[in-house]
Amino acid sequence: MNKLKGIAASGGIGIGKALVLGKEELTAPKTKISHEDISKEIYRLEEALIETRKEISNLQKKILHDLGFDHAKVFEAHLLVLEDRVLIEDIIQQIKTKKVNVEYAFSQSIKKYIDTLLKLEDEYLRERVIDIEDVSRRVLRKLLKKETINLSGISEKVIIVAHDLSPSQTASLPKENILGFVTDVGGRTSHTTIIARSLGIPAVVGLEVATINIKSGERLIVDGSEGMVFVNPAEKIIKEYQKRLTKITKDIKTIHVSKLKATTQDKREVIVSANIELPEELSLAHEYGAEGVGLYRTEYIFLGRRELPTEEEQFKAYLNVARKMKPYSVIIRTIDIGGDKFLSHPQVPVEMSPFLGWRAIRFCLARPDVFKTQLRAILRASVEGNVKVMFPMISGVGELREAKKILEECKKELKHENVYFDEKISIGSMIEVPSAALTADILAKESDFFSIGTNDLIQYSLAVDRANEKVAYLYEPGHPAVLRLIKSVIDVAHQNNIWVGMCGEMSGEPLFAFLTLGFELDEFSMPPPRVPRIKELIKNVKFEDAKAIAEKAVKLATAKEVEKYIQDELKKILQDDFDRILLV
């Protein structure tokens, strides 16, 4: 038996045969062509691009249906590569001037494209390179007349083992036959990890040598909660894990979506709401028992288009969500373009350090025309009475004041036009930058509520690029610095009589949901499928226990100590229900 340790990425247990995905090697031979063949080669390029575009569009529709907009938008980058006129013209120029076949010209242009990005030494561009490599393999297969590797054809239940999974590979996998993911690279927030959690599939990532030490057909146990992978385990271990898996499978059926409030055993009531991007996700929010929308990401209205959306378009979208979510509240976050989300609009440049650059509230304040159009639409939708507005990436009170000033201008305009809106609309500050956390006492005096965005707060506090697998192990939600920031934000907010929510990944992870319950967090917001489990956890614990455990946990020295301590304490509290609630 071989035991491998990696990053615990998606909880649960998977037992089954390994399917190792090797890295596909596609070689484009160089062939000289005649002048008469040039037009034929260019035509072949156009055909390959069209076919690939259709293929990717179909994948995008599939993942939109299965997982929602947040995952489907990954393919926008693929489609942009296929429409990149600079790249296409370079390929055509090579065919014409060097008189080489299209396969060779294409592979050379792509290599030059990737080499240029890599020389810039910007770690963020790693994700962009993955997109380019992914889509270029698809185009090259068309040109070489090789069949696309069809992972959707996997007909038996397997555990996928790969160096990494590209977005299109992940989208192609038949989720009903995937028992787990094991990858050499990746971290808690890698694309594969997020997909695995969304699908409820156990995953261990960042193993580095998984594809070397595991062969197809070997029996594996994937413990996604502990970050362990057992290769050809002993019968005794198999039986032990099968027993746990049987219990989890049986008990998951007893977790019904509760329409009741999330209330602890000693009667503390909290809100468990949903993060959404598309209006179509509202049905999931209702289905899973969400008590409102704690984060309505509005970027989908702006992405993948050449023209900015009109006020009327935005108003209809926001009004639709507000009406369908009544009587629960809807927190609309103003546009958070930048970081990993880009406008296709020609006046919005792509930056070298997008996570630290011209994004979110910075973009909005620099482009009041775009900002005011959105704020007017939000205000008009607030006539339903359940709409709140939230500003992202606030780094200090100056930005908050400027944003509120523009909001007031929009209110005056609408009053002058005799348009009704909620004049007392609640205004929230998103706490995702350390400077905001450290000046929360100032921000609280000018905010109606806070929402803690843990994904960015962790990244910025620990100086960890969450897209870079080399430092993924340092991205630790349980790091004492992160916990102290979160606790101080909640404490300061309550001292100033405002409530606090959390809309990052941490709120949907049971260990940290329990911890932040002890910090006295008021609202948890997460992807809809995670709502039932967090509700179930809250209903099975006492607030006073969570408070006492959180008080000790925040004094521990490392993230590993924190997670182990909370897990051990929860096992004592939940006993036989621990696997059912924590590991599903």
Tokens for 162?
């790969």
CB atoms within 10 A of CB 35: 8
Distance CA 383, CA 376 (A): 12
CB atoms within 10 A of CB 107: 21
On whether the CB atoms of residues 367 and 392 are closer than 8 A, the answer is: no
User: Chain centroid to CA 328: how far?
Assistant: 24
462 contacts: CB under 8 Å, gap ≥ 6: 474, 475, 476, 479, 481, 482
On whether the CB atoms of residues 263 and 539 are closer than 8 A, the answer is: yes
DSSP state of 37: G
Active site residue 503: yes
Q: Which residue reads 């242009």 in tokens?
A: 109
Distance CA 104, CA 98 (A): 11
The neighbouring-strand residues paired with 252 are none
On whether the CB atoms of residues 390 and 353 are closer than 8 A, the answer is: no
CA dihedral 389, 394, 399, 405 (to 10 degrees): 10
Q: Which residue reads 């992972």 in tokens?
A: 151
* Secondary structure of 250-287 as H, E, C letters: HHHCCCCCCCCCEECCCCCEEEEEEEECCHHHHHHHHH
- The strand pair at 2-5 and 178-183 is best described as unpaired
**Strand, coil or helix: what is 478?**
coil
- The strand pair at 293-297 and 269-276 is best described as parallel
> Of the listed 71, 78, 191, 479, which one is catalytic?
191
CA–CA distances in Å: residue 249 to residues 204, 436, 549: 20, 42, 29
Q: Which residue reads 């993060």 in tokens?
A: 275
Tokens for 471?
């430092």
User: What length does the chain have?
Assistant: 584
On whether the CB atoms of residues 511 and 563 are closer than 8 A, the answer is: yes
CB atoms within 10 A of CB 278: 18
Closest CA to 334 of 406, 281, 286: 406
- The strand pair at 262-263 and 13-21 is best described as unpaired
User: Chain centroid to CA 526: how far?
Assistant: 11
Distance CA 353, CA 345 (A): 19
Closest CA to 554 of 543, 566, 542: 566
- The strand pair at 7-10 and 203-205 is best described as antiparallel
Residue type present at position 354: P
Q: Which residue reads 């450290």 in tokens?
A: 438
Closest CA to 227 of 202, 196, 195, 200: 202
Distance CA 438, CA 485 (A): 7
- What are the residue numbers of the active site? 191, 503
